[in-house]
Structure 1
Amino acid sequence: MKVSTETRLGRNGRGARKERSSFLILCEGKTEKDYFAGMRSRRGPQIDVDVPKGDHLSVVREAVSRVSNEYDAVWCVLDTELDETLTAAMLREARRGPVELGLSTPCFEFWLILHHVDCARPFQSAEDAKRKLREIVPSWSESNTRFADFTDGIDAACRRAQKLSPDSGEPLKNPSTGVWQLVARLRSGSEAR
């Protein structure tokens, strides 16, 4: 009788844990960073959030330079500033990556508004949207964004944002936000590649 001295070091399917997906999110400010840092959880995907120095295009270029096998997806969360030329340049630059864009018109604070109320009225500026957010969440400030103030409204925000721009084809539609697509991926833990 022949005795096998070979051992199987590989894991069997039983009890094997699914590997967490990983996301790199580059954004332009503290508000966005605090929001996405608040989404981290032990069971969800790995989320690395960074705020590189520079303008919008510099942030996208930084994201392109950081695309690697380390991350399943690299995203930039940026405001359009209601600027058609800037938005077109960000979209062109992101295609080099590939980098996904979560653009908000006029600004990220519109995404936060959607956690609490349905809002389809256009904003004159980012400051106009920030004023509206402070009316809804009086404790909110750009230097103090607490994810807990928004967590209960995530599903509603995703529905409202998708309803405003179902095909995501108009990044400059005022108001609109594509952040819901990133949040949906983070919540499902699915890989983007």
Structure 2
Amino acid sequence: MARRSRPTRDRQKRCFVVCDGETEKNYFDYVLGRFLNDKRGIQKKLTIKTKIGIHPDHAKRELCRARENYDCVIFLCDLERPNLVPGDVQRIRNFAAEVKSYNSRQQPWHIFYNMPSIEYWYILHCECCTRAFPDSRAAENHLRRNWLPEYEKPMPRNCTEAEFFLAKVDDALQNNRNAQPLGQLRYSIPSCRDATNPYSALKDIIKILLDL
């Protein structure tokens, strides 16, 4: 009688994330990692390694030195404000093009944006907000004034502060899907054609990481 083969366990999935700042890094470390692994289950564990503000070529060198294989690379950037001078827009486009130059079928590289900042995503944890923000400070003030008076960067700074966000990620996803902001950007970015003011790509990032 042939020996029954043992079921094979899926290899642990890994994602390398580059953020603009410590606030975004903390959200991935303290909130999104827990949320995604709760959804994926113990047999499909996901490990997220986060870095702050490194250039795409630095990220590529670090990945080449790593002992582990990473299944995808994600850059998350804040656009900060809807009105940028042409030089800033060109720098954003050049940066996006460099990120995409490392893209491959074996290891997809993605770049996503928040407009104006991750604080809009935080707001979506609490309401389906469609108002346009002139800059990231206005989004911070809206969050602090209406929902989280104690908010300050780089929250969440620990697991206790993360609980507020962790309990509301599903609400944020639903609000993100339902929101239809009317504010338009005055510039276009090839990798962000549907961006509005406000805008968050966290729902797209979450989908990618759930599907890994």
Q: TM-score range by the shorter chain?
A: 0.7 to 0.9
Residue 194 of structure 2 corresponds to 170
Larger radius of gyration: 1
Once the two structures are superposed, what CA deviation does each residue of 1:94-136 show, in whole Å capped at 9, x if it has no partner?
2112221221011111111111111011001010011112121
Note if contact 1:64-1:94 (Cα within 8 Å) is conserved in structure 2.
no
**Residue 161 of structure 1: which of 176, 181, 184 is its match?**
176
1:117 and 2:127 equivalent?
yes
Q: Which deviates the most, 43-52 or 101-110?
A: 43-52
Residue 23 of structure 2 corresponds to 31
Note if contact 1:158-1:184 (Cα within 8 Å) is conserved in structure 2.
no
Residue 4 of structure 1 corresponds to none
Residue 49 of structure 1 corresponds to 50
Change (3 A) 1:12 1:133: farther
Residue 59 of structure 2 corresponds to 63
1:88 and 2:93 equivalent?
yes
Q: TM-score, normalised to structure 1's length? A: 0.76
Residue 147 of structure 1 corresponds to 162
Runs of 4+ off more than 4 Å: 64-69
Q: TM-score, normalised to structure 2's length? A: 0.70
CA distance in 1, matches of 2:60, 2:193: 22
Residue 75 of structure 2 corresponds to 76
**What are structure 2's unaligned runs of at least 5 residues?**
104-108, 181-191
Deviation of 1:92 (Å): 1.5
CA distance in 1, matches of 2:58, 2:176: 27
Q: Over aligned residue pairs, what C-alpha RMSD do you find? A: 2.6
Residue 208 of structure 2 corresponds to 185
Which structure shows the higher helix fraction?
A: 2
Residue 12 of structure 1 corresponds to 5
SS in 2 for 1:120: coil
Note if contact 1:24-1:73 (Cα within 8 Å) is conserved in structure 2.
yes
CA distance in 1, matches of 2:96, 2:141: 28
**What are structure 1's unaligned runs of at least 5 residues?**
1-7
Change (3 A) 1:81 1:130: same
Residue 5 of structure 1 corresponds to none
SS in 2 for 1:71: coil
